[in-house]
Structure 1
């Protein structure tokens, strides 16, 4: 039997992505959608579901209407070419096949505890897509709950979009250095304890940004891809020394884990940016200050 093809036609894009925000000029909090809400909305013409899993997994079965996105390719884009973060044409070419329009609600899921989905959520927002959110739970959990799955491929009419970078969502190395000097923002490290302490090195130098607090991304989301309850999240943030009155810059090695933290902070109303290039940038630079845990320092 031949499988059918889902054909999704977006609304015509008449405005640049930067105009998608509310008239107040402030972005709405990050959206987290339950399985039940998503299932009710499947088939809506204004809904775009993005699948951030490997293509082979997508082909075996996915949420009906979901469009596959090569999350691994996106993850390596900035690492291989840091200048791509300001390459408007590159991102317009990446966005066009997704067919996202001004009234499209974009929801992303994965099977990797939100790591890949959160990266795409952050990038979409950075590019000016305001109507983007995550699905609270992983695809394996969706299947375990006997929710609808299909192998039918969704085809999307490409859209013409104008990317407008949201500089308030990203932090550069220079801005992190300035924040340290002026104590104008709290640096939150989403990496593992070993990376933070300098025991595990993924760059020329190991350690952490001076005065950065440690809040590993995996402490905020369960193995089933569901985020902790808000009260628990607030407790984890408070224990790490994060408070709502202080701007936050989160980072990891190259953007993904920090995007999970950024999503949680954004959703809870914190003013947060993501130092997307993270330790792959900071740890390989010569002039950046680095601290290491006392226990990890070699004996004299």
Structure 2
């Protein structure tokens, strides 16, 4: 795949493999509610030829009020089969921002046991900037056959986070902006307090992406975590606003060689809404 990162493919590689029967291209775009954008409508208007749309809010646990929490493995399998995805396929995920929400979809497939899943470096903006093809044609889908193998150990819930903040060998790293993490800027979700989990470190995900929408080089990212005081030898749990951009940190940490990784699925939306959570602010 890519020489720079084992989880990335470049635009040239993808265009050369668009017609491969073993490759499935997935649009994993999603937007914050306040942005008032419809990612599926945008996909219908313009997408990479042959790609399918992954509905982050729809392929989720619909029994909770928390946004886009992981679905059960059975529900996930049924949903991705409808997208034409089968075990053994190579899955390439992109989003309309470059690298923002695609890592969450990448992480979800990884959690469900898929090994050959990758992210298009630079996403749709880089693809279009290079004059590569887009279309509004409906993708013809043949139902797939998918069996999930759920990796429970890589997903953290609220009870585990309450314990984790008191464990010296665990680092919690937050992908939100520094102002939200410090508690000086408001959260985008109405009624939700800003602030941080005790002892957490802050590495805003936007700082890991370069001007072209691509993931930064490995050593640059490593230094950013070190500069934030993150001990890369510890188990690291990533968090963000609702479990989406935390996956950008997970992608970066995996890239630089951190082996023990977890992601807090409910992230700050859950933490700040629970009375038994501890919130620190500047």
TM-score (normalizing by structure 1): 0.80
SS of 1:80's partner is: coil
Regions of 4+ moved over 6 Å:
none
1:286 aligns with 2:271: no
> What residue in structure 2 maps to residue 24 of structure 1?
none
> What residue in structure 2 maps to residue 273 of structure 1?
262
1:174 aligns with 2:163: no
Task: Tell me by how many angstroms 1:85 deviates.
Answer: 3.2
- Measure, in 2, the Cα distance between the counterparts of 1:252 and 1:79: 18
> What residue in structure 2 maps to residue 246 of structure 1?
234
Mapped contact 1:111–1:140 kept (Cα < 8 A) = yes
Mapped contact 2:27–2:47 kept (Cα < 8 A) = yes
- Measure, in 2, the Cα distance between the counterparts of 1:169 and 1:68: 25
- Measure, in 2, the Cα distance between the counterparts of 1:86 and 1:138: 25
List gaps (5 residues or longer) in structure 1: 1-28, 294-300
> What residue in structure 2 maps to residue 165 of structure 1?
150
List gaps (5 residues or longer) in structure 2: 30-38
- Measure, in 1, the Cα distance between the counterparts of 2:91 and 2:148: 16
1:43 aligns with 2:19: yes
Q: How do 1:50-61 and structure 2 match up within 5 A?
A: 50-53=26-29, 54-61=39-46
- Measure, in 2, the Cα distance between the counterparts of 1:278 and 1:49: 28
Task: Tell me by how many angstroms 1:139 deviates.
Answer: 0.9
1:95 aligns with 2:83: no
- Measure, in 2, the Cα distance between the counterparts of 1:290 and 1:155: 48
- Measure, in 2, the Cα distance between the counterparts of 1:52 and 1:109: 6
- The CA RMSD over aligned residues, in Å, is 2.4
- Measure, in 1, the Cα distance between the counterparts of 2:59 and 2:209: 22
Mapped contact 2:58–2:68 kept (Cα < 8 A) = no
- Measure, in 1, the Cα distance between the counterparts of 2:215 and 2:67: 30
With over 3 angstroms needed to count, the CA separation of the structure-2 counterparts of 1:84 and 1:116, relative to structure 1, is closer
- Measure, in 2, the Cα distance between the counterparts of 1:157 and 1:253: 35
- Measure, in 2, the Cα distance between the counterparts of 1:58 and 1:210: 39
TM-score (normalizing by structure 2): 0.85
Q: Whose helix proportion is higher, 1 or 2? A: 1
> What residue in structure 1 maps to residue 111 of structure 2?
126
> What residue in structure 2 maps to residue 222 of structure 1?
210
> What residue in structure 2 maps to residue 151 of structure 1?
136
With over 3 angstroms needed to count, the CA separation of the structure-2 counterparts of 1:137 and 1:87, relative to structure 1, is same
Mapped contact 1:99–1:158 kept (Cα < 8 A) = yes
Deviations 1:142-181 (A, max 9, x none): 1111122233332222223333321122111122222222
Task: Tell me by how many angstroms 1:261 deviates.
Answer: 0.9
> What residue in structure 2 maps to residue 258 of structure 1?
246
Task: Tell me by how many angstroms 1:267 deviates.
Answer: 2.1
SS of 1:153's partner is: coil
> What residue in structure 1 maps to residue 56 of structure 2?
71
Which structure has the greater CA radius of gyration?
1
SS of 2:166's partner is: helix
Mapped contact 1:78–1:85 kept (Cα < 8 A) = no
